[in-house]
Each structure stands twice: as structure tokens, then as C-alpha cells.
Amino acid sequence: MRILTLSSLLKSDSSFKIGLGVVIFFAAAEIFSVGYYYIGRARTGSAAAPPSIAAVRTPSAPAATPSARKGESPAAEASPAAPSLSDRLLKEAVELRDRGDTANALARLQEASGQDPKNARILEELAKTYESMQNIDRSNETWRKIQEIGPSAGASFELADKRLKMGVPTPGVAEAGPPGLSRLDTGSSPVAADTGWGGSTLGITEATVTETPDPDADTNLMLRIGIRKQSKTVIDHTKVKIQVFFYDTIDDKDIKLTDADVTYEWLTPNHDWADTNPEILSVTYLRPKNKVLSSEAALAAAAASVNPGKKSRTSKPGSSAESGQRKYLGYIVRVYYHDQLQAVRAEPPRLLKLYPPSPTASP
């Protein structure tokens, strides 16, 4: 009978433990390697997922961008660049006027003003066009519209204020017109003078004609003239000269200086331009009835009608030839300071072409 001793039991127990430990070690290593494999694979899958999503989304973004730009870019570029109808008409009008086509320029500007009646730039060009056509009344009316807009009109407001103070721009230097029918030298005491305002110190603010019914006259007119100085300018009123010319038509043909009775009167008391208010001058045109033929001419005509053998008298220039049917035509007003032309106003404007003003006053 075999007997197991304690020492043999201990040897077998240690061998068992060593073998068991080796088995456990390899098992743990295998589990670890399997776990490491699957964990690494899971990480690789999660890292690869976003690029796959980006690859799906990115083609759509570039494809949409060009089409969107093609569809939107014309509208984006056209909206700020496209001028309004009134701006296009204004541009066309200025080009037409520069070429001398004032009629079509005026039509364009009137249409533009209808589209935008408070546009100071359009009104300015409209007033300038009227001036180029010598339609001074309509020009001044348009300048006054700019004044009504106020300082918000900017440079147009300043130009309108200057135009209305100065009157129409004077034509180029030309030969002197006829001698003044009514030339006024104002004042008697000297005052220090200061010139300026672009070389012009005085301007015409108004020139209006009113007719008074008069049973004893063919024509009884009053021309009211307003003359104002530049602000802060001291005027030597002894150096101011105002010339007023009235013109008639003879038998609706010739234009001549009037032979009517002309008188003047200051409506403002001092007329020394001590302040900035305009000084008002009234000039009267009076044509009595039957002021056509002298008594001598009338007797000669009567004698010729009863004596068939007597030849009719030949009219002399200045008598019966200019004693035809006269009708009032209009006026020219000129303002001089220190014998230098300051402002001129005429109605009808064509009188300025027939009798252009002299840049200096005759002594």
C-alpha cells in the first residue's frame, strides 16, 4: 500500500498552482487582446463617420452657391445703379440744351418736374433753360420755387437767391443802347461805399406792370421796381443810376422808344439803402388819347382832302411817319453803381437782344 506523505502533497499542490496561474495569464491576455481589438475598431469607426457625413453634404453647398449668385447678382447690381425717370429726363434735357435744342430740353425738364416737383436740381436747370430762351418771367418764377424749398435746396437755393437779387444775367459786352428815357441819379450826400457780391452790389428784386383804367388816356401804366443791396454792404446812394426805357410798336411793325409821358416817384421815403429792405421806385407811362397827329399835320391832311389838285405832303421822319398807331410794348430797366452795370430786367425779353445793355453808364 502506497502511502502519501506531506512532502509529496505539497509538491503536487504547488505545481497545480503554477499551471493554473499560467492558464489564467494566457486567458487574461487573450481577453485583453480581443477587447483592445474591438475598442480600437470602434474608435476608428466613430472617427471615420464625420468625413462620410461631410462628403454627403459638401457637394450640395457648392452646387447651390453658383445658381444662387447667378439668380441674385443682376438684381443686386441693378437696384442701386438704375437712375430714376426724373434723373434720366434731367440728364437728357441738359444734353439737349447744351446742343442748342432748348425746346426739347424744356419739354424734358417739365416732364421731370412733374415727376418730382420739389427737386431743386430739376428746377434749377428749368430756370436756366428759361433764361437761355429769354423767358425771364418764367425763369424768375422757377427761381422763386427753389427759394420756397429753403436752404435744404443747397447750392440751388443760393443760386436762386443771387439770380433774383441780380436780375437776369447780363448779355456780353455790346454797343450801348439808346439814350435813357428816364435816368435817375439818386441822393445828395456821400456815404462810404463797399463793393462785392461777385462784382455786383445791387440787384432787382421785382419789376411788375399794372394798368390803371383812365377815360382820358389810351394807356396808363405803372411799373413798380424793387432794388435791393447785398447784405452788409454800405451804399453810396449818390453813385446809383437807374435807367428805365419804355418801348412802343408803331402800326404793329416798328419798335421805337415811346413818346408817351413818363414820370417817376420813389415809394420808399429815403431810398438810400441804409438797411437790407428793397427800395421801391414807381415809373408811370401815360399816353393821352388822340396823341397821334399834330394840329399842323391834321390841317394839311384836311386841306389835301378838299383840293384834289394839291399833292399830299410827304411825311418827315419823326413827324407823321412816327405818328402812326402806337401801342405800348414793354420796358428795360438797368441799374448802375459807380457807373458799372449791376442788374437788368426786360419785358418782353427780346428787347434785350434788340437793345443790349452797356457794361458802363454814360456820364
C-alpha cell at 287: 399816353
- Looking at the predicted structure, is the pLDDT value of residue 159 above 80? yes
Cα–Cα distance, 329 to 348 (Å, whole number): 8
Instruction: Using pLDDT thresholds of 50, 70 and 90, give the confidence band for residue 83.
Output: confident
Q: State residue 212 phi and psi, 5-degree precision.
A: -105, 125
> Over 60: is that where the pLDDT of 339 sits?
yes
Residues in the chain: 363
Write down the CATH number for the domain with range 182-291+321-354: 2.60.40
Contact present, 341 and 170 (Cβ < 8 Å): yes
Does 62 score more than 50 pLDDT?
no
Average pLDDT, the chain: 73
For residue 15, the model assigns a pLDDT of 76
Say if domain 85-166 classifies as CATH 3.40.50.300: no
Q: Residues spanned by CATH 2.60.40 within the chain? A: 182-291+321-354
Q: What is the pLDDT of residue 84?
A: 85
pLDDT of residue 225: 95
pTM of the model: 0.44
Mean pLDDT of 33-45: 69
Each residue's pLDDT tens digit, 227-281: 999 778 899 999 999 999 999 999 888 899 999 999 999 999 888 999 889 999 9
- Which of 29-38, 188-197, 333-342 shows the highest mean pLDDT? 333-342
Q: Within the chain, which residue ranges are assigned CATH 1.25.40.10?
A: 85-166
Question: How much is the average pLDDT of 83-90?
Answer: 87
